[in-house]
Structure 1
Amino acid sequence: MRAVFRSPGLAPSVVAPVVDAAHAIGLWQGGELSLFADGLQDLKARFGYAPQVLAITGTNGKTTVTSLTGQLVARAGKTVKVAGNIGPTLLDTLAEAMAHADMQVAQQDLEREEKQVTEPVNDARIEALQSADHEILDTPDGEEDEPRPQAPVAPAAVHPMAGALPQVWVLELSSFQLDSCEGFEPTAATVLNISQDHLDWHGSMAAYAAAKARIFGAQALMVLNREDPQVMAMRPQPVRVKLQKPLERACVTFGGDMPTRPGDFGIEVMNGMTWLVRALEADETRRRRKEEAEELHIQSLIPADALRIRGRHNAVNALAALALASHAGCALGPMLYGLREYRGEPHRVESVAIVHEVEYFDDSKGTNVGATVAALHGLGLDRRVVVILGGDGKGQDFGPLFEPVTRFARSVVLIGRDASRIREVLQGSGVPLQDAVDMDDAVAQAAALAQSGDAVLMSPACASFDMFDNYGHRAEVFRTAVARLAEVAGVSMEGGL
């Protein structure tokens, strides 16, 4: 036996005896991410390939930020591959990229050989070169040769293979992949948020957060959500160095509030309009005294209303993507165009239709409490929400739903196995709670409860397996029910009155 490879589907408690035994006899052990990191190291050693690697994790928002970051990088003119938890797999994508690069290099070699064979010999050019050589070597008698000027040293040529591979990798990584990771060192990485999820696999919130924190490696730029205390706690304390300033880990933060440090991203409301902004140092040439606060210039980037993805939480996701892509050297202008173009991912607060001035949103991917809390905060700042909740709660604590439901919901419609548990938590919220027998009934009740200008949000905060095949099937049933409402009202599923 030479190595132990861990499947992300196996919990640490299950594989612990095997992993411990492997460590005891010095066997290498790891998972897919470790193999991917080894692959990049091998390509660097052989071809000098050193791409930018941007890594994304978090309980919610991973797929949106990964997909958006990939789009921003591509819009900025860089070659990019997106892989990981979002699919396709890391190793399949790396193998595909290497095969494509091999073909590209082979094609270039073939074209170069054909050009050399078919290119006619230029006699005049050869004579000119010979004459120039003679003049250089033939110096007059009695004169010493003067030292010749040194030719400039050409930069080291990029190996064709390195030039053919992607300049940037954007990776969505789950806590399962990160838990078994060894040797992964991205250029920049983010943990978007931390809330209860997969505790049956990790065993505790502390273990879950620790797995997420492995994404930063030893030296990546940390892109942190400053509104999440558990995420901010991942930044290590400054390292004290004798007779020098303490060394701080490189960090950029983002959040739904105003940025307070140069390089950070945030949100500002100006004259009633919400803007995505970035903080810059007002005068980088000026030296400040130690006790003097930094003077900031707030750069307005894009109005939140210009984004196709809806909700405050998606504006914050956009800030995380901007921070990552900026560190990969992407120009701001093309990235802002990319932000305007991005339409979002299916079943993630996806607008389905507008019927009788009520907008219907499919957030079937909201399979945990944190996702639904984010969706309620995202939509509820602009309107009242009728929310459809319930399903298989996976033993979660539904307590965090109380505050946003109380604040933003007009009514709650409950479905599924754990409807009664959610009702117990929300009983004192003052928000009307109604039970539905299935999704069709839930949509019909939500439509009757919603008022002009409201949103109906199907964000269950639960898994779907008690009533549906998967979250995609749940979304399909929801959309079909909304389509019936739209057909009766004489409107299209694309929205409109």
Structure 2
Amino acid sequence: MMLSLENKQVLVLGLGDTGLSALRWLKSRGAVLSVADSREVLPSVHKLQAEMPEVSITLGAFKPETFANAELIVISPGVALAEPEVQAAIARGVKVVGDVELFAQYRNPSAKVIAITGSNGKTTVTTLVGEMCKAAGLKTVVAGNIGLPVLDALFQAEQAGDTPDVYVLELSSFQLETTNSLIADAATVLNISEDHMDRYESLHDYAAAKARIFEHANLQVLNRQDVWSDGMALPELDQITFGADVPKVTTDYGLLSKDGKLSLAFGQQALMPVSELQIAGLHNAANALAALALCRAIDIDFEPLLVVLRRFKGLPHRVEWVAEIANVAFYDDSKGTNVGATCAALAGLNAASDKKVVLIAGGDGKGQDFSPLRAPVKNKARAVVLIGRDSELIAAALAGIPVPQIQASSMEDAVKKAFVAAQIGDAVLLSPACASFDMFRNYVHRAEVFIAAVKDLSMRQAQMEGV
């Protein structure tokens, strides 16, 4: 049932991009608006005051009086539902929704929706699906956790009087917590591994938030190699599965090997050689298969999908090749901010050879269990170079594995030590398994420092060799 917004007292929590987009759209719907953010200083305040001077703004710790008149609360993903004042409002009967829920209620139902979540790979898959839909000639809007807030996407469509053919949505667990009405033509949970354990009591709670994406979906796309994703199959829905293994039935997606050549496959039909993908690693082959499954679910032919896969170069800071120095390749996976991402990167890199990886890891661990790193580190790592606040926790989790651990004081130090530890043909992989905020502004800044250190090393090495 669609929420009534005209003349309703609506409190928006959070003044980031999502909050600003909600305020813009809610204003267009005639709501009486106020906004609160627990941070004391925000650059976005000046932008809001210039754009919507009528909006009441409260900064600093949430207080009861800020919530007193709210008839509806629109909560940003960065604000936890567990906030005491939010819980008090819920107890009083105040409805709390997120931007995705408002989008779900108010979007034009003639537009198709492909919804994507998961611990790792969701931005890559969302981008791929968006490019595939565009290549097929569909009027496509890519939105959500990927950058463009869903209410900005909706507002733009409403203002233009132009409904897209398809919305491709990347959704986080935080967004899904407050989403109840989203009807997706096809939806996926790509995988589940520990992340945001500083916000969830257990991995089960985190997975349950992700699984909400399927509540009103028409089709589930599941990762048969991920016990959490595979376990989310609902008896009332149809499923298609993908995995970096042989498809089990003719409607599934996977990998086939023939004459030593590995191919993406639909059932027993080989679609294209994995070697023609420009994105590295078996985990990216799985991402490609997920994107194919989602697009085929809305009846797009294979031809434009495979064209996109052959030209897609991947996204920055996701197992991205940086340089090669003295036959040692350097890869930037700074976006690998949780254990699952780093496990996938380790397993996928140099998968077809016996070459080893020197891993650079560490940072803000967000309360994760690092023990799942043990197997891929033992199997693939030449050495592990540790940085950041939780480096000792990673070291403890890897104790007893016959792989050298090397402590580094900075990213520059880590790059130098990783190069020394590497042998000819090895790869040095920055895949921290951690957030970046203990040492860097964000994961992009961390990547920039890594790349600069690699370039400096390359220059010094060239000078030593007299090149």
TM-score (norm 2): 0.81
Q: Is the 1:275–1:302 contact (alpha carbons within 8 Å) kept by the matching residues of 2? A: yes
Whether the aligned pair in 2 keeps the contact of 1:410 and 1:431 (CA below 8 Å) is yes
| AA in 2 matched with 1:409 | A
Amino acid at match of 2:387: I
The equivalent position to 1:262 in structure 2, one of 250, 257, 271, is 250
| Residues 260-295 of structure 1 deviation map (CA, whole Å, 9 limit, x = unaligned) | 12211001222222111111xxxxxxxxxxxxxxxx
Give the counterpart of 2:97 among 14, 19, 30: 30
Q: How many Å apart are 1:165 and its aligned residue?
A: 2.1
Q: CA deviation at 1:467?
A: 1.3
Q: 1:450 aligns with which of 407, 422, 440?
A: 422
Whether the 8 Å CA contact 1:11–1:202 is kept in 2: the answer is no
Counterpart of 1:207?
A: 205
SS at match of 2:399: helix
1:275 to 259, 263, 279: 263
Return the match for 2:392 from 420, 425, 438: 420
Secondary structure at the aligned position of 2:400 is classed as helix
Note the C-alpha offset of 1:203: 2.1
In the alignment, the residues of structure 1 paired with residue 90 and residue 153 of structure 2 have an alpha-carbon distance, to the nearest angstrom, of: 27
Q: Which residue of 2 aligns with 1:374?
A: 344
**Corresponding residue for residue 73 of structure 2:** 4
Measured at CA, do residues 490 and 81 of structure 1 come closer, stay the same or move farther in structure 2, by a change above 3 Å? farther
Question: Which residues of 2 match residues 40-51 of structure 1 at below 5 A?
Answer: 40=107, 43-44=108-109, 50-51=110-111
Distance 2:317 2:116 in 1: 19
Q: Please report how far the alpha carbon of residue 407 of structure 1 lies from its aligned counterpart in structure 2 after TM superposition.
A: 0.3
Distance in 1 (CA, whole Å) between partners of 2:455 and 2:119 is: 31
TM-fit CA distance, 1:380:
4.2
1:181 is aligned, of 179, 182, 185, to 179
1:204 CA drift (Å): 1.9
For 1:285-343, what per-residue CA distance to the aligned partner results, in whole angstroms no more than 9, with x for missing partners? xxxxxxxxxxxxx0101111111110000000010000001112211011101001111
Larger radius of gyration: 1
Quote how far apart the aligned CAs of 1:79 are: 1.3
**1:10: Cα distance to partner?**
2.0
Q: CA deviation at 1:28?
A: 4.3
1:81 counterpart SS class: strand
1:69-468 equivalence runs, <5 A? 69-100=129-160, 102=161, 164-236=162-234, 238=235, 248-279=236-267, 298-382=268-352, 383-468=355-440
Is contact 1:12-1:202 (8 Å) kept?
no
Shift, 1:19, TM fit: 2.1
Deviation at 1:419, TM superposition (A): 1.4
- Residue type at the aligned position of 2:132: L
The residue number in structure 2 matching 1:291 is none
Helix, strand or coil at the partner of 2:349: helix
Say whether the 8 Å CA contact 1:369–1:461 is kept in structure 2. yes
- Pick 1 or 2: higher relative contact order, CA cutoff 8 A, min separation 6: 1
Q: Partners in 1 of 2:205 and 2:322 — Cα distance?
A: 37
Q: How many percent of aligned residue pairs carry the same amino acid? A: 50
Q: 2: CA distance between counterparts of 1:371 and 1:20?
A: 38
> Which residue of structure 1 lines up, in the alignment, with residue 452 of structure 2?
480
CA distance in 1, matches of 2:194, 2:92: 31
Give 1:353 deviation, angstroms. Answer: 1.1
Structure 2 match to 1:18: 89
- 1:62 pairs with one of 118, 122, 132: 122
Structure 1, unpaired ranges of 5+: 45-49, 103-163, 239-247, 280-297, 492-496
Determine the C-alpha separation between the residues in 2 that align with 1:415 and 1:490.
26
- Aligned residue pairs total 391
CA-CA distance at 1:489 after TM superposition: 4.5
Deviation of 1:99 after TM superposition, in Å, equals 2.5
Gaps of 5+ in 2: 1-69
What is the alpha-carbon root mean square deviation over aligned residues?
A: 1.6
**Structure with higher helix content:** 1
Q: Deviations over 1:186-236 (max 9, x none)?
A: 100000011111122232222211110110123420000001111111112
